[in-house]
């Protein structure tokens, strides 16, 4: 693995499962590493400790990123420890998997707060300190659904569109102000984390293995890439949408690629990384 994380403090949200858990495990061989693991399932974080090397400094805490006061309290605790993350990896996320009219108001609020606002709050609480230091890296886990609408994913897609727009704008701001802060947006299709159990992957867009995606993330982050898109077909979606009339794109996405049927058999868990 890359030596990019040597000597760094890495904050990971959604660290108890899925991408967040494997990311922590796969960089845990880095030298002088501090892992800051946040998840709203603190008991699972404790159980996962056994999979991490004994010489890694670990600061774990139960944090619900949809609760602003909880995020603020967790950030204050890090301040008391005089720890400012070098890398923030926002992995916390949920998906409901219903038609929009079947969502409860709570479903909609929780999805937007966990997937979008929570990530913003986490970064906002550390960004000025990172700017003062002159270094830092923000990594936001978005989704290919941030490029394309999909039945049973309306609120999830909205949250990921928000993540992509915010991440891109933040990257440009940090560049314009010459802060030294890097921003990487991760844009994958469906990943085998359990979060999307039951989905039928579209044509030419295979389900991604968790380790495969994390390896791509580690490599891309180390190279300071602006975007990490996977699989290969994902990067062409914006271009195809721009070139085709809306009706033609719907026909290709729905009837040829099967995108609009991909969630019909969805059975995944409600929360995950």
Residue with token string 């868990």: 269
Tell me if 9 sits within 8 A of 83, measured CB to CB: yes
Please, what are the domains in the chain? 9-272 (3.40.50.720)
What b-and-e string marks burial along 17-27, b requiring 16 or more CB atoms within 10 Å of the CB? bbbbbbbbbbb
Tell me the chain's radius of gyration from C-alpha atoms: 18
Eight-state DSSP code of residue 228: E
Per-residue CA distances from 67 to 63, 110, 114, 121, 133 (Å): 8, 10, 9, 10, 27
The pLDDT profile of the chain, 273 residues, written as one tens digit per residue, is 579 999 999 999 999 999 999 999 999 999 999 999 999 999 999 999 999 999 999 999 999 999 999 999 999 999 999 999 999 999 999 999 999 999 999 999 999 999 999 999 999 999 999 999 999 999 999 999 999 999 999 999 999 999 999 999 999 999 999 999 999 999 999 999 989 999 998 988 989 999 999 999 999 999 999 999 999 999 999 999 999 999 999 999 999 999 999 999 998 764 443
């Amino acid at each position: 693995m890359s030596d990019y994380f040597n000597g760094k403090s890495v904050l990971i949200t959604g660290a108890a499962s899925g991408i967040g858990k494997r990311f922590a495990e796969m960089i845990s061989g880095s030298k002088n590493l501090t892992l800051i693991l946040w998840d709203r399932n603190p008991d699972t974080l404790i159980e996962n400790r056994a999979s991490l090397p004994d010489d890694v400094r670990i600061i774990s805490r139960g944090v619900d990123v949809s609760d602003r006061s909880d995020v603020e309290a967790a950030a204050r605790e890090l301040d008391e420890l005089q720890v400012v993350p070098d890398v923030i990896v926002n992995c916390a996320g949920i998906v409901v998997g219903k038609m929009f009219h079947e969502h409860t108001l709570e479903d909609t609020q929780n999805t937007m707060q966990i997937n979008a606002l929570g990530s913003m709050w986490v970064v906002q609480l550390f960004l000025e300190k990172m700017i003062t230091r002159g270094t830092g890296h923000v990594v936001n886990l978005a989704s290919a659904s941030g490029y394309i609408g999909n039945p049973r994913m309306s609120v999830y897609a909205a949250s990921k569109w928000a993540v992509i727009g915010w991440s891109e704008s933040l990257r440009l701001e940090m560049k314009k102000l010459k802060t030294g802060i890097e921003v990487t947006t991760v844009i994958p299709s469906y990943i085998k984390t359990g979060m999307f159990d039951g989905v039928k992957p579209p044509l030419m867009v295979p389900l991604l293995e968790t380790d495969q995606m994390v390896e791509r993330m580690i490599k891309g982050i180390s190279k300071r890439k602006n975007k990490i898109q996977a699989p290969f077909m994902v990067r062409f979606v914006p271009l195809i949408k721009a070139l085709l009339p809306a009706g033609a794109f719907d026909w290709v996405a729905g009837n040829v690629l099967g995108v609009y049927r991909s969630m019909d058999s969805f059975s995944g868990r409600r929360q995950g990384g």
